Amino acid sequence: MIELIEKIEGEAKLDFSFEDGKIDFVDIEFMTARNIENILKGKSPLDALVINPRVCGICGHAHLIATVEALEDCYENIEISKKAKIIRELTLTFELIQNHFKWFYLVMRPLFGEKQEVLKATYPTQLMAKAIAVFGGQYPHTSYAIVGGVVCDVTEMDIIKVKHYIEEAIKFFELNVVQADTKDFLVCDNVDKVLKKSGDLPDILKEIKKKKYLHHGKSYDRFIAFGENSYFSKGKSHKTITTHNISMDHVKEYSNPNSLAKNVLYKDKYYEVGPLARAMINKVPLVKDAHRRYGDNIFSRIIARVCEIPQLLNHSKELLEQLDLSEPSYIEPSIDITKINGSGESAVEAARGSLIHKVDIENGVIKNYEIITPTQWNLGNGTKKKLGVSQKAMIGLEDVQTAELVFKTFDVCSVCTTH
């Protein structure tokens, strides 16, 4: 039974096989691919800063940051000011927040029978877009992070402005998503306390319990994150064991006969990436509590993603405080990138999980470019014997609608998956 899953930045075709009234396999097909990696070949390395954000309209900024870091990794030595690093992290953080708001209000809530509230998605996301635009000039599709730093300089007035956007977004969260003081919510380590609150998130979580969905969406309980910054740490986690010792060398991509998306594995195993993975590796108390109670199910996945909103808003306020405006925003690299022969790679945490970029520069032009997107990890199309993460999460469900809900808790993005 083939179902077209729509409004996921494109579509995906899920081909469900049932046995005894239960899903026993799902073939996931993404039908469109633009092959950005080919477009990049032969271009000047810096042009990738303009092309790559156009991989995706909702997480293009993560692609920009991954690009600039991969290009900088081609240098043996390159100096980036702390100020530039903080600004990059801020804008990437704002993108994650806008993404989560959009996912929650445009995708998730309607799946629980609520009317889609577009304005609840657009109001906070516009605040985050403004905050990015203060530094980057515009959102989406800025290329303001360049090899050597960022193009902008900022003044105290800009910081005041950005801080107001953050405060306003926090206020929105407290009024709508979880009606509680964010400070308390951030230290909360008990899911029951959240369930007692009002708000659009507790509503959904209660609904999951009420509908007896608590067993839905369980997968390998195996998580990985490669991106590292002042908030996220890299590592992997399986059930309760977490290690930070991982290497990108073990990441392998495999073409997929049935879909234009490639599968990606770590040491030959499927891993889940994204907010739940990050929270497990970072040991976020509330998410750990959800996971302890319910495992890697849709409840944990949803609470992890929404939880990141106030965490990141709060963290971005701290980052703003750390900005030293007297530092340079940009330090001209001692060698022009067109004089470089070398390879570089990067990993950043995008909204949906770890995003990896790899580049080879030869005689000043891009010889090869490789992008591994978060959704490739989560939505890999495995075989019956070796299921992908989201495939495994859908096994055993009794109907297509619930399967679609489970599928969408991974925050599916068609354009990224195939790029």
Partner 1 sequence: MRVLWLSSIACNGNTHSFLNYPYMEQFLNDFEFIYHPVIDSNYSLKEIVTETIACDILLIEGSISDEFKRADVPVVDIITKYAKIVKKIVTVGTCATFGGIFRESDYKDTTGLHFVKEVKIDKFKDLLNKTISLSGCPVHPEVLVNTLYAIKKSVDLQLDNFLRPKDYFAYTVHNGCTRNEYFEYKVDNHKFGELEGCMFYDHGCQAPFTHGSCNKILWNEVNSKTRAGLPCMGCTEPTFPKSNLFGTKKNMGIPQDLPLGVGKRTYLTLAGITKAFTIDRLEKKLFDD
- Which range in 119-127, 201-209, 217-225, 234-242 contacts partner 1 by CB under 8 A? 119-127
In angstroms, give the least distance from the CB of 191 to partner 1: 29
Number of residues forming the site for partner 1 (CB under 8 A): 71
Please name which of 36, 26, 160, 123 lies closest in space to residue 415, comparing C-alpha atoms: 36
Site for partner 1 in 398-417 (CB under 8 A): 415
Minimum CB distance to partner 1 smaller for 100 or for 218? 100
How far is the CA of 148 from the CAs of 68, 73, 357, in angstroms?
Answer: 9, 11, 18
In angstroms, give the least distance from the CB of 163 to partner 1: 14
Per-residue binder mask for partner 1 (CB under 8 A), 83-102, x = binder: -x-----------------x
Residue given tokens 């109907």 in the structure block? 399
Site for partner 1 in 55-74 (CB under 8 A): 55-58, 60
Please name which of 387, 343, 397 lies closest in space to residue 368, comparing C-alpha atoms: 343
Q: Which 8-state DSSP code applies to residue 338? A: G
Interface residue with partner 1, options 50, 159, 214, 248 (CB under 8 A): 50
- Which range in 19-27, 50-58, 279-287, 392-400 contacts partner 1 by CB under 8 A? 50-58
Is residue 118 near partner 1 by the rule CB under 8 A? yes
In angstroms, give the least distance from the CB of 340 to partner 1: 15
State the CB neighbour count (10 A cutoff) for residue 256: 18
Is residue 1 near partner 1 by the rule CB under 8 A? no
What residues does 371 pair with on adjacent strands? 357
- Distance of alpha carbon 61 from alpha carbon 274, whole angstroms: 16
In angstroms, give the least distance from the CB of 240 to partner 1: 37
* Residues 3 and 400: beta-carbon distance below 8 Å: yes
Pair type for strands 241-243 and 251-254: unpaired
> How far from the centroid of its chain's Cα atoms is residue 23's Cα?
28
- Which range in 128-136, 168-176, 245-253, 343-351 contacts partner 1 by CB under 8 A? 128-136
- Which range in 172-180, 316-324, 327-335, 347-355 contacts partner 1 by CB under 8 A? 327-335
- Distance of alpha carbon 142 from alpha carbon 357, whole angstroms: 18
Site for partner 1 in 376-395 (CB under 8 A): none
* Residues 63 and 90: beta-carbon distance below 8 Å: no
Interface residue with partner 1, options 1, 119, 160, 335 (CB under 8 A): 119
Minimum CB distance to partner 1 smaller for 11 or for 370? 11
State the CB neighbour count (10 A cutoff) for residue 41: 13
Copy the structure tokens of residue 196. 């007692």
- Distance of alpha carbon 349 from alpha carbon 273, whole angstroms: 9
In angstroms, give the least distance from the CB of 197 to partner 1: 27
Interface residue with partner 1, options 7, 22, 196, 211 (CB under 8 A): 7
Site for partner 1 in 260-319 (CB under 8 A): none
Residues contacting residue 98 through CB under 8 Å, at least 6 positions apart: 124, 125, 128, 129
- Which range in 287-295, 303-311, 328-336, 403-411 contacts partner 1 by CB under 8 A? 328-336
In angstroms, give the least distance from the CB of 286 to partner 1: 28
Per-residue binder mask for partner 1 (CB under 8 A), 133-172, x = binder: xxxxxxxxxxxx-x-xxxxxx-x-----x-----------
Interface residue with partner 1, options 23, 66, 70, 132 (CB under 8 A): 132
Minimum CB distance to partner 1 smaller for 132 or for 188? 132
In angstroms, give the least distance from the CB of 106 to partner 1: 5
Site for partner 1 in 9-28 (CB under 8 A): 9-11
What residues does 254 pair with on adjacent strands? 263
Interface residue with partner 1, options 176, 329, 376, 390 (CB under 8 A): 329
Interface residue with partner 1, options 4, 175, 195, 335 (CB under 8 A): 4
Pair type for strands 365-372 and 222-225: unpaired
Is residue 54 near partner 1 by the rule CB under 8 A? yes
3-state secondary structure of 343: strand
Q: In what order do the strands lie in the sheet with 342-350?
A: 342-350, 353-362, 365-372
Query: How would DSSP label each residue in 12-60?
Result: EEEEEEEETTEEEEEEEEE-----HHHHHTTS-GGGHHHHGGGG-TTTH
Interface residue with partner 1, options 285, 295, 328, 342 (CB under 8 A): 328
Phi and psi at residue 9, in whole multiples of 5°? Answer: 55, 45
